[in-house]
Amino acid sequence: MRTYTTDYLVIGGGLAGSTLGFLLRQAGANVIVTELLDARAKSKLCGGIIASLATKTFETVYGTNELLTLQPLQCQDWTTSCFESSYTIHTQYPIVQRKDLDDYCLKRYLDSDGILLDRVKTTAVNTAEHTAVCLDLRTKEHLTITYNTLVAADGATSLTRRMLTGRKARFVLTLEGTVPNIGNYIEFNVMPQFNGYCWYIPRREDAQIGCIYQYNYSQGRRERLRNYCNRLGLDVPRLRSAPVPSGDDILLSAQENTWFIGDAAGLADAFGGGGIHYALVSAQLLANSLLGSTPYTQAMEPHLQELKKIASTVDQRYLAICIKAALTRSDSQQN
């Protein structure tokens, strides 16, 4: 059995885990990041819009705006349609392939001499003895990692969270697929009566189409996405599903020296985005805390309050979207 010893064991090599590993390595700490999948091949579902908060956090963490030059930018108008109403917000968002973003962060971690063990499944965690037992899925060999601090960054369905708490986090499912690029615009087709929406987001030569709905209406999401594709004149693509934290089931720590960041902590606004920002900011604030700055739970409190407010006003937000769409249409008719 292989054995490792490290200061920090980070379970999950996605955006949050790689960023935390990078920041800790910058401070000279010993870090091991484990990843269940092939870290270099995996591709997370994501429309690819990088909101301004995420852009600012990225620049703060990595000291560069290189995020915005990962590909030629497509800055589009954002059109939201509600029933028969629609309005366009003339604003600009960089659109970056999520895999490009994840690969960039992983590369920065590896370039800092961070250790990555991918295709490794964590099968047991003993927080009293600070050890984790893992299975190498390539060789079928077991390995033991002794750590000082454990960080779970293994996504919305975090196995680590289930092992340590006995239950999985609440999440909703998105459906996404790749379609031809039929127009130089971003569209969100909002359906307030279902608390959800579909989207069309152009990227390079193709576009991403998908949908997300609140719990009670998740059973009909495939049909609504099919209808949306039909409205745009697109064939229904091969669809993949992905969990997104509901935003109302947040856990930052389970036990002493055990922490959660990103989706594993439940940090996302399922119906308004923000997952990239919360992955980056939680990694940044935890790294600061572990290196002697403001305690993680204290530093995260303003973000938790904002997410709590968002989670309690989903219905009102969709109503506001409808009202704004109707008013915008009325204004344009008068003009």
63-105 pLDDT tens trace: 987 776 554 444 445 555 554 444 455 556 677 778 889 999 9
Give the pLDDT band (50/70/90) at residue 33. Answer: very high
Report domain extents, the chain.
2-314
| CA-closest candidate to residue 196, choices 267, 246, 238, 160 | 246
Q: In Å, what is the CA distance from 334 to each residue of 46, 262, 330, 331? A: 38, 46, 6, 5
Beta bridge partners of residue 212, listed in sequence order: 174, 197
What's the DSSP call for residue 170?
Answer: P
Give the pLDDT band (50/70/90) at residue 184. Answer: confident
Q: What span, in angstroms and rounded, lies between the C-alpha atoms of 261 and 263?
A: 7
Q: pTM to 2 decimals?
A: 0.89
Lowest mean pLDDT among 51-55, 232-236, 276-280: 51-55
| CA-closest candidate to residue 10, choices 27, 30, 37, 40 | 30
The CATH-assigned architecture of domain 2-314 is 3-Layer(bba) Sandwich (3.50)
pLDDT of residue 82: 53
Segment 176-184 shows an average pLDDT of 89
Q: In Å, what is the CA distance from 114 to each residue of 28, 75, 293? A: 10, 34, 22
